[in-house]
Amino acid sequence: MSHSSFYEPRSKVTVVGSGNWGSVAAKLIASNTVRLSSFDDEVRMWVFEEKLPSGEKLTDVINRTNENVKYLPGIKLGKNVVADPDVESAEGISLVKGMEVKKEGPCMISTLISKTLGINCSVLMGANIANEIALEKFSEATVGYSKNKEAAEKWVQLFGTPYFIVSAVQDVEGVEMCGTLKNIVAIAAGFVDGMEMGNNTKAAIMRIGLKEMIKFSKMLFPSVKDSTFFESCGVADLITTCLGGRNRKVADAYAKNQGKRSFDQLEAELLNGQKLQGVLTAKEVYEVLSDRGWVEQFPLFSTVHAISIGRLPPSAIVELGDSRSANKQVGNSTL
């Protein structure tokens, strides 16, 4: 929100980023600013300028057609959305899922934004497949905030629609960790799918993954709350990601090929060069676990990493039962 004081009437909203999800966010928000008197109708969407094959600038086309023809074609954004290359802010919210997990702990995107811009930064996460929300299919999201409850309530007002239900929780770290760690669990779920072990096993693996997500988040940030994982950012996003999603898909293919083709090969074939978040996150999380002597407490996270680098076969994902030995195997190796 780009006003010098957040609580002044008629705050102006700028969406920073204009990809698939950023454009949907602008559409959601624009439908609300026109009916909420505390916001200026106009929503600025910051667009990284590029030239289209036609020779026109992307911002010009968006402003002429009211569609992001490149990243969200066929969807009207709302006439009050204006593409713009400038940013200024006072109160921020990050919609970026995923963050770097370094040895010192995770590098939270919201913290980065907060420090870089010198502003408060909340996050919005949840079971959010941008294209489904663009088509106004029912779904939910969670706003995580740290201190400013009133700002969080404004975000809820701004994003919420009858088909997009938003709730706020005071747990920015918990909400943001969910968005990252779920990808490790999706890799595990993909292995189970690839081995055709059935829904029973898949549900068990998802549950164990959820428990490790909670435990890891709480060990890094003692303020993280269990209840956050019952929100959309927790269990619902986990389910969506383990049912569809590219992490699950590539891990499925990996297990079907019995590990004979590497993740790198499969990524290149199946994802048009996009990188798999889950494999990277598993590696980064493993480094934290290893560094802090926590490996044995996280058999699923550790095993996903060991499988993804070819140290263990995909079938190891369902041998967590004998977790002591499984952990040992991972713990003693030089992963």
Annotated binding-site members: 17-22, 48, 97, 130, 246-247, 275, 277
Q: Are 259 and 147 in contact (CB under 8 A)?
A: no
**Could you give the CA distance from residue 46 to residue 246 in angstroms, rounded to a whole number?**
27
Q: Does 139 engage in binding with its own copies (CB under 8 A)?
A: yes
Q: Does 328 engage in binding with its own copies (CB under 8 A)?
A: no
Pick between residue 231 and residue 267 the one whose CB is nearest to its own copies: 231
The footprint of its own copies on residues 170-199 (CB under 8 A) is 197-199
3-class DSSP state of 109 = helix
**Could you give the CA distance from residue 69 to residue 59 in angstroms, rounded to a whole number?**
10
Q: Does 219 engage in binding with its own copies (CB under 8 A)?
A: no
80-88, 116-124, 149-157, 200-208 -> range binding its own copies (CB under 8 A): 200-208
**Could you give the CA distance from residue 129 to residue 113 in angstroms, rounded to a whole number?**
23
Q: Does 214 engage in binding with its own copies (CB under 8 A)?
A: yes
Contacts 24+ apart (CB under 8 A), 272-279: 274/246, 276/183, 276/187, 276/246, 276/247, 276/250, 277/98, 277/180, 277/183, 277/247, 278/183, 278/184, 278/186, 278/187, 278/247, 278/251, 278/304, 279/187, 279/247, 279/308
The secondary element (H helix, E strand) that includes residue 295 is: none
Pick between residue 116 and residue 223 the one whose CB is nearest to its own copies: 223
**Could you give the CA distance from residue 213 to residue 332 in angstroms, rounded to a whole number?**
23
Of 84, 171, 176, 231, the one binding its own copies by CB under 8 A: 231
Of 34, 36, 69, 204, the one binding its own copies by CB under 8 A: 204
Burial status of residue 283 (CB atoms within 10 A of its CB: 0-12, 13-18, 19 or more): middle
Find the shortest distance in angstroms from Cβ 213 to its own copies: 11
Q: Does 207 engage in binding with its own copies (CB under 8 A)?
A: yes
What residue has token string 């060991």?
Answer: 306
Pick between residue 45 and residue 214 the one whose CB is nearest to its own copies: 214
Of 232, 247, 277, 303, the one binding its own copies by CB under 8 A: 232
Instruction: Please confirm, yes or no, whether 182 is among the known catalytic residues.
Output: yes
The footprint of its own copies on residues 260-279 (CB under 8 A) is none
Q: What is the gyration radius of the CA atoms in the chain, in angstroms?
A: 21
Which is the catalytic residue, given 154, 182, 225, 249?
A: 182
Q: Does 296 engage in binding with its own copies (CB under 8 A)?
A: no
56-64, 151-159, 201-209, 303-311 -> range binding its own copies (CB under 8 A): 201-209
Residues in contact with its own copies, counted by CB under 8 A, come to a total of: 48
Of 61, 69, 119, 129, the one binding its own copies by CB under 8 A: 129
The footprint of its own copies on residues 66-125 (CB under 8 A) is none
Of 223, 227, 258, 333, the one binding its own copies by CB under 8 A: 227
Angstrom CA distances, 261 to 81, 188, 253, 272, 318, stand at: 45, 17, 9, 16, 20
Pick between residue 129 and residue 280 the one whose CB is nearest to its own copies: 129
Of 152, 235, 250, 307, the one binding its own copies by CB under 8 A: 235
Q: Which residues contact 198 (CB under 8 A, 6 or more apart)?
A: none
Catalytic residue set: 182
- Residues interacting with its own copies, by CB under 8 A? 127-129, 132-133, 137-140, 161-165, 197-208, 210-211, 214, 226-227, 229-232, 235-240, 243-244, 318-322
